[in-house]
């Protein structure tokens, strides 16, 4: 495991024997018992997905920034001074910017969901010297 401040290991530059030693494995792979023990110790190889913000919250987040507040203030001042057209134009620009930002973030969220569904659900690993398919959730360090 990498500790804070440590450089990441350049696994591709290490001799195979050193790599195997560092991950506590052998050329013929782990035994079934070792894999089960590591799975118990480290847990399943899954990503916990937190539900993202809902559409309304995502839209409101687009307006929740200092520039938008400054523009809202200028729109309010313009309206207070009787410059209705100027105030409405600035307010319209804020809304258009929020809509564009919302659409981009919403689409990005959908793209991430689609990519996560494309992740392979199994992998081939060496167990007891034999190549066997293993569910991705059961891959162990």
DSSP character string of 63-111 = H-SHHHHHHHHHHHHHHHTT-HHHHHHHHHHHHHHHHHHHHHHHHHHHH
Look at residue 60 in the predicted model and tell me its pLDDT.
93
Look at residue 1 in the predicted model and tell me its pLDDT.
53
Prediction pTM value:
0.57
Look at residue 4 in the predicted model and tell me its pLDDT.
65
CA distance 97 to 62: 8
Provide the token pair at 132: 């066997």
Please list the ranges in the chain whose pLDDT falls under 70: 1-5
Look at residue 52 in the predicted model and tell me its pLDDT.
77
Provide the token pair at 121: 């659900």
Please give the torsion angle defined by the CA atoms of residues 141, 52, 103 and 91, in that order, rounded to the nearest 10 degrees: -140
Look at residue 86 in the predicted model and tell me its pLDDT.
97
Look at residue 6 in the predicted model and tell me its pLDDT.
73
Look at residue 119 in the predicted model and tell me its pLDDT.
79
Helix (H, G, I), strand (E, B) or coil at 68: helix
């Amino acid at each position: 495991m990498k500790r804070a401040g440590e450089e990441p290991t350049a696994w591709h530059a290490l001799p195979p024997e050193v790599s195997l030693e560092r991950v506590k494995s052998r050329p013929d792979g782990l035994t079934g018992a070792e894999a089960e023990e590591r799975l118990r110790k480290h847990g399943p190889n899954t990503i916990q997905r937190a539900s993202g913000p809902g559409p309304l919250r995502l839209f409101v987040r687009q307006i929740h920034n200092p520039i938008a507040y400054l523009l809202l203030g200028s729109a309010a001042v313009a309206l207070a001074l009787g410059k209705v057209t100027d105030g409405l134009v600035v307010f319209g620009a804020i809304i258009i910017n929020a809509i564009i930002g919302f659409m981009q973030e919403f689409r990005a969220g959908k793209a991430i969901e689609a990519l996560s569904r494309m992740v392979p659900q199994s992998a081939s690993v060496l167990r007891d010297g034999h190549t066997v398919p293993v569910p991705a959730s059961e891959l162990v360090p």
